[in-house]
A and B are shown apart, each in its own frame.
Chain A
């Protein structure tokens, strides 16, 4: 933290690519440079033992996309500053600065192995599918596709009741995690069916490629992404080891993930917190071999997930597979200048998230492509403004013969 904020020269380059600055009405504290300045303030006040003002929204609003890192001439990562600042806040026990939703998510995940307590429902998509028993690979959905129908409705409810009441409710749930059961009854059933379909298409693509894999069903835990991102590092360490132990029980060392958040967390973060981490992590498209079909000339635009092109910058498999299948283009802001869909802010700052996703959606739509293709359930929900957004598994499956 000292290093990150100490190296900043306040040049403001990071602000130019930060996806939250514009949606926040250009208020600097919700932009990348502002976060480094606030991080410095947090560090100074904490070091001197002074009370920290209500500063945390600056850090919680960061989408963790890390676009700032790629333009910083001094190599400062404002995303990392946000992450470390959240860690300082959560470890100091500063409840005033701790976000109630963050606390709720963490407490519920610890109790139920799922941020909304719907672990047992998250295997519903697999009804009727026969999985292999002991197999070379384990399909690990990470619950992400299954959670989205709940978060969407939860946000609609939040908007209706206002932030004060919803924060109060989040605090209550954080103190009594079992209350989450009341909230978790709300889900968007249409989206649920759509996302179930996506997971089934992933299975279809893997099977066509001759991959043998098992699935944990209701025992599958959420990977703990929120716990890590929200700065609860000690809790995350414990939770990651718990997830690891369950994955190990399957007997497979090769783990197939289906979303970029889980993929990147397991691949890059778990090894830092789990001793002797020995699992091989794949994104399902690593293993998919599309049958030889005629390449379509249909123009689609691929929205690259931050966790692939910014957090794990050498990973380009989805674009490669898509380009082999059809005429895939990128929006003006792409590669290491891609713009986040705004999704990670959906639970804590829904209005900001909505504005950020609209900006990205317009950029993608302006390419004139017939479809917007996503490779992440969060991006998919946030960019589904019209009926032109498709998850990559669904698009690829639609191109299969028969």
Chain B
């Protein structure tokens, strides 16, 4: 291969050239399949990354940084003429400073590992996408991941204080820093959050950490209509209660969890609401009761409260595994479950869900609905067969409609999964809908200013 010798010189043994060994890098957690990369780099030092990027920049080789490989939109797969840059060896938690409320971590640290370490001092790093076991700090910054706790803590962008980044020309830059406030010109840290590796490679992150809630409790409520779930959350939030998490699941999802995890649900329930309340040891029971009363006023089919840690963990894990549980209700093994991810104004979620469900019925496709109801985030999981053209056409039509519904209800075509390859055209729809093509132009100019040769993750977010 043309570049093998030079890449070997830069990376030594930290490079993979064998075509067979490269195969797993053609995929991530999305349905997309990439092209064989020139090489896979698994560097150990920032200097290796600097030299690699400078070389790729000079030779017009494209680079895709890879974290946990959990992207659902194809953001981490290589296309033509790519080098995959795996950050797996950048997996150290460098320091934790609870008094200053920050931790310094390398991008390859997995989110659950960081939180396991922080749990030792009763702190948390709040972003908790369902993929947190495998997802990394760098990858979740690059998609601005959300998760269940975003209801209370917001998404990743709220928790990043600063970054060390290698730019496409090989220079190293630090944005932001470790302090909780800073007013010093343009917020370059923000640029790299959600950039999906299109601007540079994150090699270190200063993340904000927070004390773990002293006490938590969980309410499970079942309703026969989505309007009641929507109203329940609206009423809870209106009286000043911010749920720690607030998740909804539809009947198909409940059935799949019953099949996959042996869980049981009331037969007549159409929707399940999982709502966590965070409080102090003294007031948790009062707060739970106060919240439960609001939920009871809407006539649930069933409602229960638990503070048992094991029971809470079981439900939490089940919700996090809801997507994979859907595989159990597929009609055939060739069928895939393609996860949609949009956000609407929380108050408009019931109306949006009704439209979405009606469209699925009109197209004659199975769609399971769950999501983060507190912030209006809908995950519409479409059962489609990649081997059947008609099935995939319907999937595409549905995704397009889902995006339209999101925009018409004050939201966005992507809530927390990013754009990747999957949502490039939906992103254009969003700019058109908001009459903001200028925003796209500015994004392109920023990209060009930082990455003039366009080597970083070309073909993702926009062309």
* Interfacial residues, chain A to chain B (CB-CB below 8 A): 2-3, 6-7, 9-13, 15-16, 25-29, 31, 33-34, 37-38, 41, 53-55, 71-75
Provide a sorted-by-A list of 20 A–B residue pairs whose CB atoms are within 8 angstroms: A6-B333, A7-B333, A10-B28, A11-B29, A11-B70, A13-B133, A27-B21, A27-B42, A28-B25, A29-B24, A34-B23, A37-B27, A38-B23, A54-B20, A55-B20, A71-B133, A72-B324, A73-B324, A74-B325, A75-B260
B323: chain A residues at CB < 8 Å are 9, 73
Q: Which of A26, A34, A71, A73 has the most CB of B within 10 A?
A: A73
B131: chain A residues at CB < 8 Å are 11-13
Q: Which 5 A-B pairs have the closest CB atoms?
A: A73-B324, A26-B88, A73-B321, A28-B24, A12-B134
A38: chain B residues at CB < 8 Å are 20, 23-24
A41 to B36, CA, bound (A): 14
B112: chain A residues at CB < 8 Å are 16
> How many whole Å from A274's CB to the nearest CB in chain B?
32
A12 to B139, CA, bound (A): 13
A74: chain B residues at CB < 8 Å are 260, 324-325, 327
Task: Let me know if B68 is at the binding interface, CB within 8 A.
Answer: yes
A204 to B116, CA, bound (A): 43
Q: How large is the interface on B (under 10, 10 to 19, 20 to 34, 35 or more residues)?
A: 35 or more
B42: chain A residues at CB < 8 Å are 25-27
**Is A73 within 8 A of B27, CB to CB?**
no
Task: Let me know if B217 is at the binding interface, CB within 8 A.
Answer: no
**Is A73 within 8 A of B24, CB to CB?**
no
Which residues 133-161 in B have Cβ within 8 Å of A in the complex?
A: 133-134
**Given contacts A26-B88, A28-B25, A75-B260, are A9 and B70 in contact (CB under 8 A)?**
no
**Is A73 within 8 A of B325, CB to CB?**
yes
A7 to B329, CA, bound (A): 11
**Is B134 within 8 A of A29, CB to CB?**
no
Task: Let me know if B320 is at the binding interface, CB within 8 A.
Answer: yes
> How many whole Å from B18's CB to the nearest CB in chain A?
8
**Is B19 within 8 A of A13, CB to CB?**
no
Task: Let me know if B89 is at the binding interface, CB within 8 A.
Answer: yes
**Is B20 within 8 A of A29, CB to CB?**
yes
A10 to B23, CA, bound (A): 13
A12 to B24, CA, bound (A): 11
A10: chain B residues at CB < 8 Å are 27-30, 69
Q: Which residue in chain A gives the minimum CB-CB distance to B86?
A: A26
B324: chain A residues at CB < 8 Å are 9, 11, 72-74
A206 to B25, CA, bound (A): 52
A3: chain B residues at CB < 8 Å are 333
Task: Let me know if B16 is at the binding interface, CB within 8 A.
Answer: yes
A29 to B89, CA, bound (A): 16
A6 to B334, CA, bound (A): 7
Task: Let me know if B266 is at the binding interface, CB within 8 A.
Answer: no
A204 to B281, CA, bound (A): 54
A33 to B27, CA, bound (A): 11
Q: Which residue in chain A gives the minimum CB-CB distance to B20?
A: A53
Query: What 6 new A-B contacts, CB under 8 Å, besides A10-B28, A12-B29, A25-B14?
Result: A16-B112, A16-B133, A25-B42, A27-B16, A73-B325, A74-B260
**Given contacts A11-B134, A25-B42, are A73 and B320 in contact (CB under 8 A)?**
yes
> How many whole Å from B379's CB to the nearest CB in chain A?
14
A356 to B89, CA, bound (A): 16
> How many whole Å from A87's CB to the nearest CB in chain B?
19
**Is B134 within 8 A of A9, CB to CB?**
no
Interface string of B236-268 (1 = CB under 8 A from A): 000000000000000000000000100000000
**Is B327 within 8 A of A29, CB to CB?**
no
Task: Let me know if B110 is at the binding interface, CB within 8 A.
Answer: yes
Task: Let me know if B386 is at the binding interface, CB within 8 A.
Answer: no
Q: Which residue in chain A gives the minimum CB-CB distance to B13?
A: A25
**Is A7 within 8 A of B327, CB to CB?**
yes
Task: Let me know if B53 is at the binding interface, CB within 8 A.
Answer: no
Task: Let me know if B163 is at the binding interface, CB within 8 A.
Answer: no
> How many whole Å from B69's CB to the nearest CB in chain A?
5
A2 to B334, CA, bound (A): 10
A28 to B86, CA, bound (A): 10
**Is B23 within 8 A of A37, CB to CB?**
yes
Task: Let me know if B195 is at the binding interface, CB within 8 A.
Answer: no
Query: Which of B24, B70, B110 has a CB less than 8 Å from the CB of A37?
Result: B24
**Is B20 within 8 A of A16, CB to CB?**
no
> How many whole Å from A349's CB to the nearest CB in chain B?
14
> How many whole Å from A41's CB to the nearest CB in chain B?
6
Q: Which residue in chain B gives the minimum CB-CB distance to A17?
A: B133
> How many whole Å from B217's CB to the nearest CB in chain A?
25
> How many whole Å from A205's CB to the nearest CB in chain B?
36
> How many whole Å from A397's CB to the nearest CB in chain B?
37
Which residues 24-50 in B have Cβ within 8 Å of A in the complex?
A: 24-25, 27-30, 40, 42
A15 to B42, CA, bound (A): 16
> How many whole Å from A362's CB to the nearest CB in chain B?
15
B19: chain A residues at CB < 8 Å are 53
> How many whole Å from A53's CB to the nearest CB in chain B?
5
Which residues 42-75 in B have Cβ within 8 Å of A in the complex?
A: 42, 68-70
A33: chain B residues at CB < 8 Å are 24, 69
A167 to B269, CA, bound (A): 62
**Is B327 within 8 A of A13, CB to CB?**
no
> How many whole Å from A340's CB to the nearest CB in chain B?
19
A26: chain B residues at CB < 8 Å are 42, 86, 88-89
A12: chain B residues at CB < 8 Å are 29, 68-70, 131, 134
Q: Which residue in chain B gives the minimum CB-CB distance to A31?
A: B24
Interface string of B295-328 (1 = CB under 8 A from A): 0000000000000000000000000110111010
A38 to B16, CA, bound (A): 16
Q: Which residue in chain B gives the minimum CB-CB distance to A34?
A: B24
Task: Let me know if B352 is at the binding interface, CB within 8 A.
Answer: no
A11: chain B residues at CB < 8 Å are 29, 70, 131, 134, 324
**Is A9 within 8 A of B20, CB to CB?**
no
> How many whole Å from B310's CB to the nearest CB in chain A?
14
> How many whole Å from A268's CB to the nearest CB in chain B?
22
Query: Which of A9, A27, A28, A31 has a CB less than 8 Å from the CB of B327?
Result: A9
Q: Which residue in chain B gives the minimum CB-CB distance to A25?
A: B42
> How many whole Å from A152's CB to the nearest CB in chain B?
27
A28: chain B residues at CB < 8 Å are 24-25, 69
Q: Which of B16, B19, B20 has the most CB of A within 10 A?
A: B20
Task: Let me know if B342 is at the binding interface, CB within 8 A.
Answer: no
> How many whole Å from A168's CB to the nearest CB in chain B?
21
> How many whole Å from B23's CB to the nearest CB in chain A?
6
B346: chain A residues at CB < 8 Å are none
> How many whole Å from A67's CB to the nearest CB in chain B?
13
B68: chain A residues at CB < 8 Å are 12, 15
Q: Which residue in chain B gives the minimum CB-CB distance to A10?
A: B29
Q: Which residue in chain A gives the minimum CB-CB distance to B112?
A: A16
Which residues 6-21 in B have Cβ within 8 Å of A in the complex?
A: 13-14, 16, 19-21
A29 to B26, CA, bound (A): 12
A15: chain B residues at CB < 8 Å are 68-69, 134
Q: Which of A7, A13, A15, A16 has the most CB of B within 10 A?
A: A13
**Is A9 within 8 A of B16, CB to CB?**
no
Task: Let me know if B205 is at the binding interface, CB within 8 A.
Answer: no
Query: Which of B23, B134, B260 has a CB less than 8 Å from the CB of A41?
Result: B23
> How many whole Å from A151's CB to the nearest CB in chain B?
27
Q: Which residue in chain A gives the minimum CB-CB distance to B321?
A: A73
> How many whole Å from B8's CB to the nearest CB in chain A?
15
B88: chain A residues at CB < 8 Å are 26
Q: Which of A9, A28, A29, A34 has the most CB of B within 10 A?
A: A28
B28: chain A residues at CB < 8 Å are 10
A54: chain B residues at CB < 8 Å are 20
A73: chain B residues at CB < 8 Å are 260, 320-321, 323-325
B24: chain A residues at CB < 8 Å are 28-29, 31, 33-34, 37-38
Query: Which of B27, B30, B134, B334 has a CB less than 8 Å from the CB of A13?
Result: B134
